[in-house]
Amino acid sequence: MSAEKTNQSWGGRFSEPVDAFVARFTASVDFDKRLYRHDIMGSIAHATMLEQAGVLSLAERDAIIDGLTQIQAEIEAGQFDWRVDLEDVHMNIEARLTDRIGITGKKLHTGRSRNDQVATDIRLWLRDEIDVIIKEITRLQEGLLAQAEQHAEVIMPGFTHLQTAQPVSFGHHLLAWFEMLSRDHERLVDCRKRVNRMPLGSAALAGTTYPIQREITCRLLGFEAIGGNSLDGVSDRDFAIEFCAAASLAMMHLSRFSEELVLWTSAQFNFIELPDRFCTGSSIMPQKKNPDVPELVRGKSGRVFGALTGLLTLMKGQPLAYNKDNQEDKEPLFDAADTLRDSLRAFADMVPALKPRIEVMREAARRGFSTATDLADYLVRRGLPFRDCHEIVGHAVKYGVATGKDLAEMSLDELRQFSDQIGEDVFAVLTLEGSVNARDHIGGTAPAQVRAAVARGKALLAAR
């Protein structure tokens, strides 16, 4: 077999074909073909720059751009023959371009390498993925704001250690998730800035002798900056690791949210109802309604955490510059982006359809001595030290456990056996509404503050 047929991109150096298994083992086309649109985008910009730099003629540029445009149409019509022997998305497209337009197709690769080409493709792809993910975060936040506004006065127990702590507004609870997602949005917007730096022009590792004008391709591709060092340009995968770190935090938040939804839909809590379309049943137990979407999102968080760990491990031992190890960057990165995007989409569809069981939530808050802190605060306002008040209320709670009475259900005489500072006005602070309304400050759970937080949230989303 001639050397040329062993591989169209580098066969001249070799005197025998690559082993069939090795060819399959080292090929990446099965997964990197999803970069085709960004590969073609980068190639069109590169050809445009080469013509302006005088490396290609106008006719050669036009032939290349027309050929690439037709190849993209072939791929999107499902008519493209992806070949493993051509290794990757880049060589498959270049080989097809040469088939279409002849020797001019071989001129496209002038002044670049697959090393800077793939680094550029991944950044272009990830930039688009971040934009989609950011939109899904915003859509989920819109759903949370709508629910919070509607249920600003619905009372539920707030928990610490999964034990009833203090009553809170259901709307206030939902806005905690809004805050987490706002931080996720900030991280991804910031991450995008470092993704959006152009490595194209770094060539294999040292730059190129051709008179390229990187400013042109930077502008055409919408990058914000040009990579300042060719060695770093081809070997850097910080941006992918950073994205997976931001994605891991976002999935951690969704996993925590999922855990609450799983608890809240159980018969033991029964706080909310999920629509049937987000649940499944059991093949053997006809009564079951399983919260599969939250459970799956909770489980899928591990995939994204694994992608982050995998990419860190991939990069930690690599010397400069490009190494074949970096072929392993794409699958975990692709999977992390897909998983985060789909998880956000599922939640953005599901959250507006959540239905709180208002009376169940209220009864749960009433049962757990959730206004105990309010009684302690009441006594502090009567001039007693907080630690003494804490002990007094602790005795009152012990009495309530023994008698089966919540604090608000005790008579004034019963309460006064623990402190003669307790007066008839105490019952105003022992009600659930009194407790919630009393926390009337920025970030507090009072319905007025929930509505104010919703207004701030809407303004934040409108400014994006």
Separation between Cα atoms, residue 180 and residue 277, nearest integer Å: 26
Q: What residue spans in the chain does CATH classification 1.20.200.10 cover?
A: 127-362
Given the residues 57, 266, 282, 395, the one annotated as active site: 282
Mean pLDDT of the chain: 94
Q: What residue spans in the chain does CATH classification 1.10.275.10 cover?
A: 16-110
Question: Is residue 161 among the annotated active site residues?
Answer: yes
77-134 tens-digit pLDDT: 999 999 999 999 999 999 999 999 999 999 999 999 999 999 999 999 999 999 999 9
Q: What residue spans in the chain does CATH classification 1.10.40.30 cover?
A: 372-430
Give the CATH number of domain 127-362; options: 1.10.1670.10, 3.40.50.10190, 1.20.200.10, 1.10.3720.10.
1.20.200.10
Separation between Cα atoms, residue 156 and residue 361, nearest integer Å: 5
Question: Has residue 336 got a pLDDT over 50?
Answer: yes
Question: Has residue 303 got a pLDDT over 90?
Answer: yes
Residues 199 and 120 sit within 8 Å (Cβ to Cβ): yes
pTM score of the predicted model:
0.92
51-73 tens-digit pLDDT: 999 999 999 999 999 999 999 99
Neighbouring-strand partners of residue 280: 290
At 3 the pLDDT is 39
Beta strand segments in 161-237, E: 163-169, 197-198, 225-226
Q: Given pLDDT bands bounded at 50, 70 and 90, which one contains residue 8?
A: low
* Spatial CB neighbours of 205, under 8 Å, sequence gap ≥ 6: 113, 115, 230, 231, 234, 235, 320, 321, 322
Q: What is residue 324's DSSP assignment?
A: G
Mean pLDDT for 345-368 is 95
Q: Given pLDDT bands bounded at 50, 70 and 90, which one contains residue 2?
A: very low
Question: Has residue 265 got a pLDDT over 60?
Answer: yes
Report helix, strand or coil for 119.
helix
Q: Given pLDDT bands bounded at 50, 70 and 90, which one contains residue 10?
A: low
Mean pLDDT for 437-450 is 96
At 279 the pLDDT is 86
At CA 212, angle to CA 33 and CA 51, rounded to 5? Answer: 80
- Percentage of the chain exceeding pLDDT 90: 89
Architecture field, domain 372-430: Orthogonal Bundle (1.10)
Residues 324 and 26 sit within 8 Å (Cβ to Cβ): yes
Residues 455 and 442 sit within 8 Å (Cβ to Cβ): no
At 15 the pLDDT is 65
Question: Is residue 282 among the annotated active site residues?
Answer: yes
Q: Given pLDDT bands bounded at 50, 70 and 90, which one contains residue 14?
A: low
* Spatial CB neighbours of 35, under 8 Å, sequence gap ≥ 6: 89, 118, 121, 122, 125, 330
- One-letter amino acid of 174: L
At 73 the pLDDT is 98
Given the residues 15, 161, 411, 441, the one annotated as active site: 161
Question: Has residue 27 got a pLDDT over 80?
Answer: yes
Mean pLDDT for 14-41 is 88
Separation between Cα atoms, residue 306 and residue 213, nearest integer Å: 39
Question: Has residue 338 got a pLDDT over 70?
Answer: yes
User: Between residues 48 and 24, which one has the greater pLDDT?
Assistant: 48
- CATH superfamily for 16-110 is Fumarase/aspartase (N-terminal domain) (1.10.275.10)
At CA 368, angle to CA 367 and CA 373, rounded to 5? Answer: 125
